[in-house]
Amino acid sequence: MPNFNAGKFGTAPVFFTAISTILGAILFLRFGFAVGQLGFLSTLAIILIGHAVTIPTAMAIAEIATNQKVEGGGEYFIISRSFGLVIGSTIGIALYLSQAISVAFYVMAFAEAFTPLINWISDKYDLHPALAAIIELKQTISIPALLLLTYIMLTKGANLGVKMLYVVVAILAISLIAFFIGQTEYADINAFDPVRSLATTSDYTSLSFFAVFAIIFPAFTGMTAGVGLSGDLKDPGKSIPLGTMTATVCGMIIYGLIAYKFAISAAPLELADTSKLIMQDIALYGWILIPLGLAAATISSALGSIMVAPRTLQAIAKDRIFPSLFINHWLSRGKGPNLEPINASIITVMLAAVFILMGAIDSVAKIISMFFMVTYGSLCLISFLNHFAADPSYRPRFKSRWYISLFGALACLGLMFFMSPTSALVALVAIIGLYTFNSYYNRDKQSLAVIFQGVIFQFSRTLQVFLQKAKKETISTWRPSAVAISEHSFLRLSAFDLLAWISRKYGFGTYIHVLKGYLSKETNVQAQQCKNRLIQMSEDKGSNIFIDTVVSPSYTSTIAQVVQLPGIAGTENNLFIFEFSFQNPTNLSDIVDNLKLIKSVNFDVVVLRTSIRGFGLNKHIHVWISSQDYDNANLMILLAYIIIGHPDWKHAEIKIFTIFPEQKIDEEKERLTQLIEAGQLPISTKNITTIPQQLEVSIDTIIEKNSQDADLCIIGFREETVKHDGAEFFQRIGDIGNIMFVNAAAQKNIVK
């Protein structure tokens, strides 16, 4: 059997990649500046606050990596497989840009290591002004260094990169040892003062705490660098948590010791001077070891970034996120058995070269920090959401705590704005723009990620249990929680549409497709297929109803099952919707036979009679009220109001027709007008028509005459009338379009 782990790495590269990035350019170039500006205690506070973000992130990475196989792409793989490809790729592209631009940042910082040599050459030799200007340019060293790194990565790949990593980490260690054992005259004559700073020892105005924090924080952001090697590790589940956590803790301790060494070795004014390498004056043989250490730190950080960034881009392309198939294929290609990301490396180096030539790396560095904070916040949020979702499949060998992960996520967001509100806004706008772009070009990948499904499940479960346990209050207003059933879902859509209109804004709706028969393997498969078709139909229509199916041998048993279903929002269902076709009323007798069963459980009932015309133009709703169904009137008006709240009926108007004995017409019209005004219903008094009841003319005839062009008629009915007239009651009115027959279990209140 072939050894698929041959040539892959253990834990050491993860640790060394992370620690060499943590102990990077800012350590040599700006950490003394922080101690000089703020003093030892405030610098220690920066270290602790910074690690309040990095330690939860490291723990989150360790937790996630020990639960799932982390493949190529490292942080991007974790985020995209947790949040879904659209959100994951949005954060992944931001992560890649920060990693790629970091290459430029570290290479330019590497050029700073040659400043003593350049100054010595300028002092020693009388150079031509043009040559002197060229030598002093940071790009003179940065561009060749970038090209050399590119050559190493393209020809030798990660293997040589890891071997070089060991060399530069060794040099970095030697330079730090020399720094710690170095002695200064200042240390011999001055006692240690933990609060001594620029503000307490001179007239200079020091920077604010968070202004210095914004400069220093990127020093702590290297702990995830080793995660990008996940595709090249023998056992990512072991190596990533061990290497990442160890590097993070070691980095925090080393930074604390370095801050103390700075505080006892030089005056704040000297420490705050960024024109020279103060570490060079403190360290033993600092004139040579500190520039070498700076070169080692920056080149190792650049090496780590140039190893990781192309792999992130390669992983994004493998997920076919970019809009062009050619681009995805070209960027995802690799060389050799380890699939070295050659093409992704070329793009990364070109991007880094652009920023090196621009030279505006200080302003870009703030945006880099913001993108890293977005990444770290996302990782902490993933850990927190996994804890909240309580998915049994989430069983990491290393466990963080939900409150630690939540704190890390909130700290990332807060520190972004404390560091630089402008840069934070730029980063967030860029993230929103990337998400919009990815959503547009990846519509087929917008599935709800498992982590969100779990969170929604837990939230829904908790809410429903809470509502069930909560003390029931007397509720004077009515809100529909409707359930509709139909055997003809794919032939007649009227009931489906009606439920969608009723449940869109003011209530909830459950649509049940009925399959006649007994439950078996075959009928279960058929039911699932029907359910999937209806869900797709619901998505296409943009409705928010809940879809389900029922397999039952009879209409009565179907209703008995459905009325016992729990509501989908923690409230009991209260409205039952039937439907039948006026032209082909095959199921009408079943509806009539089971009305008593529905009424026995105190449901309001709607019987929708559909016609060939359907809902017509969705512009005219006629509500018919008579003395025979007075108790249904308020429910009929409420349903009409709810329906016109849907966009499909946005141009509709409600007309109310009342049929009462002539001596009661004025009284009933006044009562109805007051009800509409008090209830603030969008019904003009001009649309209220009163018709005297005449013995020689039936109500059905009056309705046919006045509502022949209505798109929907709403008519009340009494249980006793249906019991007496049977199915004929619903067929007496001629073919005037769709009719809603409404029966209220109790009179509804329109006015609170």
Residues 421-461 pLDDT 10s: 888 888 788 888 888 888 877 776 655 556 777 777 777 77
Assign 366 a pLDDT band (cuts: 50, 70, 90): low
Q: Give strand pairing partners of 549.
A: 513
Query: To the nearest 5 percent, what fractions of the chain are helix, strand and coil?
Result: 65, 10, 25
DSSP state of 233: B
Q: Give strand pairing partners of 481.
A: 508
Contact (Cβ atoms closer than 8 angstroms) between residue 483 and residue 512: yes
Contact (Cβ atoms closer than 8 angstroms) between residue 236 and residue 69: yes
DSSP element (H, E) containing 688: strand 688-692
- Above 80 in pLDDT, residue 82? no
Averaged pLDDT, 45-60? 89
CA-atom Rg of the chain in angstroms: 37
- Could you tell me which of 652, 663, 107 has the C-alpha nearest to residue 353? 107
Residue 115 pLDDT: 74
Enter the tokens of residue 459: 């939230």
Enter the tokens of residue 436: 């919009």
Q: Give strand pairing partners of 655.
A: 622
Task: Tell me the C-alpha distance between 711 and 610, whole Å.
Answer: 11
- Could you tell me which of 312, 381, 368 has the C-alpha nearest to residue 56? 381
Task: Tell me the C-alpha distance between 376 and 412, whole Å.
Answer: 7
Between the alpha carbon of residue 46 and those of residues 3, 196, 201, 216, the distances in Å are: 46, 16, 21, 8
Enter the tokens of residue 654: 């409600």
- Could you tell me which of 296, 323, 4, 318 has the C-alpha nearest to residue 164? 296
- Could you tell me which of 68, 408, 421 has the C-alpha nearest to residue 210? 421
- Above 60 in pLDDT, residue 720? yes
Residue 453 pLDDT: 75
Sheet architecture: strand order including 508-516: 546-552, 508-516, 481-486, 575-581, 604-610, 738-743, 712-716, 620-626, 653-660, 688-692
Q: For tokens 């980095």, name the residue.
A: 251
Enter the tokens of residue 656: 């109310």
DSSP element (H, E) containing 513: strand 508-516
- Could you tell me which of 372, 291, 327 has the C-alpha nearest to residue 75? 372
Quote the distance between the C-alpha of residue 502 and its chain's center.
30
- Exposure string for 190-219, b = 16+ CB within 10 A, e = fewer: eeeeeebbbbeeeeeebbebbebbbbbbbb
Q: Which fold has domain 481-511+567-743?
A: Rossmann fold (3.40.50)
Q: For tokens 């003319």, name the residue.
A: 697
Enter the tokens of residue 532: 């999937």
Enter the tokens of residue 409: 């996520």
Task: Tell me the C-alpha distance between 364 and 92, whole Å.
Answer: 18
- CATH 3.40.50.620 in the chain, residues? 481-511+567-743
Q: Is 336 left (phi over 0), alpha (psi -120 to 50) or beta?
A: left
Task: Tell me the C-alpha distance between 187 and 263, whole Å.
Answer: 9
Q: Tell me which of 521 and 463 has the higher pLDDT.
A: 521
Residues 193-211 pLDDT 10s: 888 888 777 767 678 888 8
- Could you tell me which of 74, 345, 120 has the C-alpha nearest to residue 229? 74
The percent of residues in the chain predicted with pLDDT above 70, rounded, is 88
- Above 50 in pLDDT, residue 2? no
- Which pairs count as long-range contacts for 231-235, CB under 8 Å and 24+ apart, including other chains? 231/71, 231/72, 231/73, 231/74, 231/311, 231/315, 231/338, 231/339, 232/8, 232/9, 232/13, 232/72, 232/158, 232/338, 233/8, 233/9, 233/10, 233/13, 233/14, 234/5, 234/8, 234/9, 234/10, 235/10
Enter the tokens of residue 233: 């590790």
Q: Which fold has domain 12-445?
A: Amino acid/polyamine transporter I (1.20.1740)
Task: Tell me the C-alpha distance between 278 and 297, whole Å.
Answer: 16
Task: Tell me the C-alpha distance between 536 and 163, whole Å.
Answer: 54
- Above 60 in pLDDT, residue 182? yes
Averaged pLDDT, 142-167? 72
Averaged pLDDT, 703-714? 91
- Above 70 in pLDDT, residue 293? yes
Assign 4 a pLDDT band (cuts: 50, 70, 90): very low
- CATH 1.20.1740.10 in the chain, residues? 12-445
- Above 50 in pLDDT, residue 341? yes
Task: Tell me the C-alpha distance between 497 and 727, whole Å.
Answer: 24
Contact (Cβ atoms closer than 8 angstroms) between residue 602 and residue 576: no
DSSP state of 651: T
Averaged pLDDT, 745-752? 75
Task: Tell me the C-alpha distance between 351 and 329, whole Å.
Answer: 20
Residue 45 pLDDT: 94
Give φ, ψ of 398 to 5 degrees. -105, 130
Task: Tell me the C-alpha distance between 276 and 264, whole Å.
Answer: 18
pTM recorded for the entire structure: 0.67
